[in-house]
Amino acid sequence: MSNFPPPVPRLTVLGAGPGDPELFTLKGVRVLGEADVVLYDALANNDLLGYVRPGAPQIFVGKRRGLRSYHQDEINALIVDSARQHGHVVRLKGGDPFVFGRGREEMLYAEQHGLRTDYVPGISSAVAAAGSVGIPVTHRGSSEGFQVVTATTATGELSAAVREAARSRTTTVILMGLSQLGRIVEIFSQHGQSGTPAAIVQNGTLPAARLVTGPVRELPMRAAAAGIGAPAIIIIGEVARLATADAAMPAVFSELLSYAEVA
């Protein structure tokens, strides 16, 4: 009979940040080192798994083309089963788990099944990806606030929050919106924002980052011409004019198009 006490089943929901592994938090490093098992998503940089102690299982549960995707109810069950078997489960999620990341949803399920839970924030791509190409979500004289919305509901439909955002003149950051780009442009145009400055940032904060800018009405054409793909964020508002070229990141700005071209 073992003299060791049984593992305490618990869950830590941990934000992996926007992509650049150097933007991961010190607390996140410690938590990964304490994990008995790690469940990680596709948007979490794999370099972070180097902080996991040797021997701790690492299970990919994200969505990636060509690989099996887990449904949310399967992930919830896996969290509970893994915690009961191993002890401390760390759920590593891209960005911040509480910004359209289902982090609290997973914690509530775990709590209902007797697990202790904790949350460690991560830097959200909603702010960091924009900032990485010189776009602040607020800027004196241009934007006194910002809103972050998801483009797609749980059923795959366009979120009503997009139409609400189009009525505002504050900065709008849209996550998971590339597949709905045509409808987004249509709605913002219906609300008089076809000429509003906008930008799309793909793989923000990473060396492979790419950027297109232009008025809202031109976004689909420019994104298609540049081959922009997911993961990407859409930024709509006057602050998009502030995107600046950085000689240290030429890949980011190779697709930068000036507003003058369509003025």
DSSP 3-state of 115: coil
Contact 117, 111 (CB under 8 A): yes
Question: In whole angstroms, how far apart are CA 35 and each of 2, 20, 40, 73?
Answer: 21, 21, 12, 22
* C-alpha closest to that of 224 among 238, 207, 205, 210: 210
DSSP 3-state of 157: coil
Alpha carbon distance 12, 54 (integer Å): 19
Alpha carbon distance 255, 22 (integer Å): 25
> Cβ-count burial of 90 within 10 angstroms (0-12 exposed, 13-18 middle, 19+ buried)?
buried
Alpha carbon distance 98, 124 (integer Å): 9
Q: Any idea which residues carry the catalytic annotation?
A: 41, 63, 176
Contact 43, 95 (CB under 8 A): yes
Element (H, E) at 76: helix 72-86
Alpha carbon distance 41, 16 (integer Å): 9
Number of neighbours of residue 1 by Cβ within 10 angstroms: 3
